[in-house]
Amino acid sequence: MTVTPLSSIVLVLLASFIGSFGAVFLKLGAAHLSRGIRGLFNWQLIAGIGLFLGSSVPFIMALKHGELSVLYPMVSLSYVWAMLWSRMLFGEPITKQKVGALALILGGILCIGVGGR
Amino acid sequence: MGSSTTIPPIAEIPETPARPAVNPAWLVVICTLFAASAQILLKFGALHPLPPVHFSDAASVTAFLTALTGDWPLVIGYSLHACNAMLLILALRHGHLSLLYPLYALSYVWVDLLSLHYFHEHLNIWKEAGIVLIIGGVAVLGKASRE
């Protein structure tokens, strides 16, 4: 079993970071949809989709030297970042329920990663 | 960490006036079904042989593009991803991002279950535990989204 290098882990952290901003921009852009179909072409939505696609670039780079079963569960850290940005930018409360649910989900993804070896 | 302290939002989101007809959490659940089906199709699509492409040779580029558009699992997979993005955007119009976005993890569950059938993969105790934990977390968020 090969050891996943630190550089791959840093790249996946970067991917999860970029992905979390993708979600933030989709949320911002979604608010424009009330203006009908033309609201679909606003820069926030395009930026959100661009960030999601862009986040796959460091992820694929990370996979060159790292193991998928280790790196794939780490992508889900973007849920943690997105929760922080939601509080900082949109004033959404971080409740015990949200933290508990996120812990269950991250634990579950970790288990699936281990089971996929 | 308490929910009692409210901080003023920096980015102003204009509230969409109409109440959502369906709980946006359900839209995200449907999204994850699209995403998982897309992933399975992309894996099938990746098995499809594609001719080598040389950018100096126009004929090879045409042959590559013909093969690519004829690779229907790939085409349908990417189309499903596009539908999935549209649905996610619709879902995010209402409700908390911090609540809806983690629901997306449900796609891991569907991919594992679909892989059982399509790729003859097997479940093990870790995957089973993971599926149970994710469904548990999603259920907690789903309940929170109704409050």
pLDDT in tens, B13-54: 655 546 677 889 999 999 999 999 998 898 888 887 788 888
Q: Which of residues 48-67 of A touch B (CB under 8 A)?
A: 48-49, 52
Alpha carbon distances (Å) from B84 to A38, B27, B107: 19, 10, 11
pLDDT digits over B87-121, tens only? 999 999 888 999 999 999 999 999 989 988 888 88
| Run of H or E residues at A89 | helix A77-90
According to the model, what pLDDT value does residue A25 have?
Answer: 94
Instruction: Give the SS3 label for residue B111.
Output: helix
Nearest-by-Cβ selection for B126 from A102, A103, A115? A115
How far apart CA A85 and CA A15 sit, in angstroms, is 16
CB pairs below 8 Å between A and B: how many?
152
Contact B105 A100 (CB under 8 A): no
- Provide the pLDDT for residue B14: 58
In 3D space, the residue among B104, B83, B1, B4 whose CA is nearest the CA of residue B38 turns out to be: B83
Residue B86 Cα, gap to closest chain A Cα (Å): 9
Helix (H, G, I), strand (E, B) or coil at B49: coil
Integer Cα distance of A63 and B54 in angstroms: 26
Tokens of A57: 């670039």
Whether B124 contacts chain A with CB within 8 A = yes
| C-beta atoms surrounding B95 within 10 Å | 18
A109 lies within 8 A of chain B by CB: yes
Give ∠ CA B35-B39-B45 in degrees, rounded to 5: 140
Closest CB to A29 among B89, B104, B131: B89
C-beta separation of B25 from B100 below 8 A:
yes
Divide the 117 residues of chain A into consecutive groups of 10 and give the mean pLDDT of each group.
79 94 93 72 90 90 82 90 95 94 95 85
From chain A, pick out residues whose CB is under 8 angstroms from the CB of B9: 89-91
Residue B1, pLDDT score = 43
User: How close, in Å, is residue B20 to chain A by CA atoms?
Assistant: 12
Q: CA-CA distances (angstroms) from residue B138 to A28, A93, A114, B34, B111?
A: 23, 18, 20, 17, 16
Q: How far is A101 from chain B (nearest CA, A)?
A: 4
Hey, how many other C-beta atoms are within 10 angstroms of the C-beta on B67? 15
ipTM of this predicted structure: 0.87
User: Is B136 in CB contact (< 8 Å) with chain A?
Assistant: yes
CA triple B99-B102-B106, angle to 5 deg: 125
Residue among A104, A109, A117 with most chain B CBs within 10 A, to mutate = A104
B130 — pLDDT class (breaks 50, 70, 90)? very high
**SS3 state at B6:** coil
Confidence check: pLDDT of B10 > 80: no
Question: What's the pLDDT score for residue B43?
Answer: 84
pLDDT for residue B2 is more than 60: no
Confidence of residue B12 (pLDDT cuts 50, 70, 90): low
Residue B36, number of CB atoms within 10 A of its CB:
22
Neighbours of A25 (CB within 10 A): 20
